[in-house]
Structure 1
Amino acid sequence: MVDVYSFTKDVKSLPSIERIEDIVSAIAKETARCALFIREYTAHVFAARVVGQITSEDAQTIQEFTDIFEKYKQSLDWALGVHVAVVVDDARHIAQLSLKVAKDTQATAQRLEQLEMLKNLNPVKLNSNRDGCLPADPQNIFWLYGVTGAGKSTIATSIYQTFDAMSLLGAALFFTCSNQESSPSSYPHVVDASIKDQFQRLLVEPLDRAKDHIHGPIVIILDALDECGDPEPRRRLISLISSRFATLPLLRILITSHPDLDIAAVFRDQSSIVKTPLDITKLLSLEDICLYLDTEMVHVRKIHFSWDLGPTWPGDAKITGLIECAAGLFIWASTATKYLQDAHDPSDALDHLLKKGSDLDALYAVALQSIKFWEDRTFAERAQACLAAVVLGKVPISDTTINALLGLDVKHSSAHVFFKLGCVLQWAPGKSARILHASFGDYLTDHKRCGQQPWFIDPALWGPQLARSCLRVLKMELCFNICRLKDSHISNIAVPDLADCIATYIPAHLSYSSCFWADHILSAEWDEAILADIENLMYNKFPFWLEILSILGNLGIGINVLRCVGEVAKQQNIALAEFLADAIKFMVAFAPAFIHSLPHLLNPVPETNTGTN
């Protein structure tokens, strides 16, 4: 294998060579098969084979791999010596990764050879009373989860094709909610037995009898598990997967799904399950979209050969435009390329596509409709409020911050909503909730696009409500000497461990409310309640609000807020407007001192005083 992969050190300097693409692809498959054989050889029956001799069956397998790699090396040498043409970029990635596998394989083989030699030295037998290593939990389940359209099923299909070609595929189930056969409740009819009985009789017992004749793992693919039937039978299947499949070391199970609450709750604490999100916001995902589009454009050019598009059509600028429109969603990119393939004039069609942009309204509607709780008025109202906080929030905020802003208790936490909205939001417990693409926020807040849906977010309604939430937090939590500072005569930058004090005494919801309460109302109509809350903040809590902005280093925000709110107040409350104008003059005049020692300016106190203002 090392000999075969020796060409990779020069691969960057090689031009694209079309002839070797199939050869390198075949080498990669044989490398995977060989790596699986070695892993099973060294792990599954390693102890027995160190003591004994290599079986004739193993020796034959090793010889077969040796012959195959020699054959491919000869083919590769011949192809490299013929001529240069196209496409080796994909193979380069495979080859570079496989070179590491080859080196690891060589090292493993050397260790096995050394163990075989040591066996002849008659070593002292191991003391059976000595403690061994702690047992490691097997990890034979891989859960890939992500939002609708991220490419989970595409990945599952590719893995299906790869392992099927290697004769290592045990089964592949691609669930769809519209297919009755996707329900676990239909399984027992096959053998008229419960799922647990089927598991024991159709998997555990046959695999136990065949384990000595199986080289390499058997791959099972369960795609779109969240679409597997009704909640109750699906719950039984998920429970069975999490509790029993780890006992089948010969199986490798790939599961894809949305991060639905019932699946996440069961899989979360299972050490046998490798949990990986398919994050479409990462650079690697965008690079994958780019690679996908580049590949698909080759097919578009071939289909529309009569248009003489040229070898680089449609050009880097328009490919970049497509990537921006796709925003990491493979479903968008796939639909776009199919549209171009079927178009009469691909260039005109591409221009139209780029002008139209990312039209995902139908996809968003389908994803939101898949949540079965919108008819529940209590859930719908809470979900709407939580979505408003995410979509209209000025910075990404966590579920705990949203709970505090909206006054939600543990029983009615926003986390319950976000778990159900996992198909359209990027979120993890305690982390910021984010929309995946700007078009989702545009969709939710556009009356023409979803005004009749229960998830519609009206900024004119929810903006003031969020402002009232912020003002309520400030009314309740702003106080004298918020950070419990011991000396009011030193500047903020001289306060020891100021960052720790902020983390301890200024929670995220208080920080957010202090900085952004005005942003939620400046473009909305003020009612009497909003005006009363602003008056209360300015007349009763103004020094404490300035103090917290000073500690956070955001006094500039305060000055801008006073100016903007003052302009609106001129139309409704002259006294408040005059107060705000005087406050601005005060802040501007003493801005440098504010930055260094706001408490001392507002309330000069003796050195012995332990308070600040």
Structure 2
Amino acid sequence: MQDSSHDDPRFSRGALNINAKGGIFNQVGRDQYNQHYNNYNNPMNNEMVADAYLAKLPCAVRAGYSSGNHKPCLKGTREGVLWDIEAWEADEMNESVYWLKGVAGCGKSTIAQTFAERSGAKGNLGASFFCSRDYSDRRNLHLIFLTLARDLAYWSADFKTALVPIIRVNPNVQDDSLPVQLEKLLVRPFKQTGLSATIVVDALDECEDKEPVSEFLSALAVHVDSMPMVRFFITGRPEDRVRSGFKLPSLRTKELPLHDVDSATVNSDIKSSVTFRLNEIATRRTQSINGHWPSDRDIAVILKKTSGLFIIASVILRFIDSSVASPQKRLKLIVDPPESTIYEGRSGIDVRFFDRLHLVVGSIVLALKPLPHASLAEILEMTPEDIWIILTHLHSVLIVPESESEPIRILHKSFADFITDKERCPDARHFIDAPPHHSVLGILCLKLMKMRLMKNICGFPRYAMNNNVKDLPARRELCIAVPLSYACSSWAKHIQLSSQAGGSTSSVLTQVNEFFTHHLLSWLEVLSIEEHLHTAIYSLHDVRLWLTENPNQDLSDLIDNCERFVLWSFDGVMLSAMQIYHSALSWTPTSSSIRQLYERKMMTETKLVNAVSPTWDACIRIIPVAVGGTVRAVAFSPSGALIAGCGECAVKVFDAKTGMNRATFDEHKFITSVAFSHDDGFLAAGLWGRTINLWDVQTGTIFRAIKWTVPSSPYSVAFSSCRTMIASSINDGTV
């Protein structure tokens, strides 16, 4: 290579694959870019590069079986069920999916943990995902396939080699629908490698899933046959959306209802577990125990109280093993309970303390998401020390972390089910009546917002876009924090859930009216900063539902104006919280109640050339569709929850309340019309070129393509009320 001072580029003319690795460039006159790969021809073989791509996948934390979230079955118990599961796994001719179903507390997760450990020891387990409603990432359906794919890559080098190039060319795969995620992240690598694997998904019912049929199962039904060497073991309660998902015809499933297991076998296993744990407690705490303990009668009484549910046995054992009292005394309270005393320190619990205990337990059970103890204390107007004192007595039913930043969680959903059911929990001292308690929580949230909300709460520059504030996370944590964030996002749902509380609602009406009269703008500001502005629409809807039970025309009119204001200014405020006080208020109709209430908070430097309309016009919301050219047709779903719009090459489905995009169906043909089925489940689209496509709205996949040979195209489509027929008008004048 000649010196760069010679003005002659002939050395590189027409050259390909110039390799100057290890060389030195002197007298570089312009930009120089040096990049070094360990393997020039295929950098994807580099482990560091591959791991860097895997690290970009957003995944759940501590979701695998080895994270210590669950304990395995006691040796020698649940062997019949485990034998059946292992036999299914070993036979390649069996169904690809195994569903272990049962009520809360019957031991599904413990069995899943044990099976995962055994399958892992054999080298069969590729990945596992233990869902939990208590953790935002582990209840997020859209993280399951992402997390499974990452773990499969670390399980198998061949899988990693197949997966990483897919991630490289699909950097936003996390934004894809679940069926598309499954096809890209699991189906393609398994097809390429020919690997066989077992995948465990526990407690699927604990995921957030608003669809009538589980979105996860719908995706699995589409693609499971493309992975014949892969076994999916799934556990969950037989809720409607889960049960209906397993009924999909393309999802061949082996099912085992745990309640069908012989009760004698279940009781024998519970007895073995209780006996083992009590003997272990006796060995460990010998100084607290006198004589022969436990007796056969003790174990028999505990067994009767469990009613065949392992979780009840677990709660009883945690109660007995508490460090604040003797195990013998605690066991006696279970076996021979006093008739009219409160178990813990009867003489030391006064009415005030018990009321606070009731408030704390009810708030933990009914909170819309778990809260740390300090945040709970601020919302309940108590001190953190007060909360700690109460929680000391509740370790048998709650998971109480030592860290103040970690949320308090219910040990098991069955505790919440029990304590909020008057028939199952007839003792008024312990029963949590949900509607009145939701009312209390709603009012407490309103009071907290009244104290904490303010204009420009995070100290943004006047015209700042949210994403341009470099220290935004730190400002959010310092100026908003968990208690206010929870209050802003949850107050309206608590109010709505209090509809059946009974009694006077005048105080609630007063508080809600005051909130919308004085704090609407600062509430919207927080929701914008938190990237939850859509929550405002749902909150207004919740308050409107509550008002159907508690009519108040003035407040209803104010809610209507608030909704118009939020929808009209949504796009701008979502990007910049400060636009609430600039453009949003400036362009609000002069006679609207929002303008009249909040005009004093307007930024005065905004000058309008044209006069603002005195009233709201007919347009509620403008939704940018971006479907490739002109919007050709729109359709509301029969429930009113969805809107579809089509253009030259795409159909988009939007949430009718917020206007946010729910799904996109890309096409390469001119689309003339769209129509929803009467259950909102399917979307039909007429395509230029003698075709009607039928999409599954939930999974985003084509369910069927209807074609005909007549040289004409559909102008419009419509479903029959029973969803079994589709009518179309054709451009030759026929239907």
Task: Calculate the TM-score normalised by the size of structure 2.
Answer: 0.37
**Counting strand residues as a fraction of each chain, which structure ranks higher?**
2
* Higher relative contact order, chain-length normalized (CA < 8 Å, sep 6+): 1
Max Rg structure: 1
Structure number with the higher helix fraction is 1
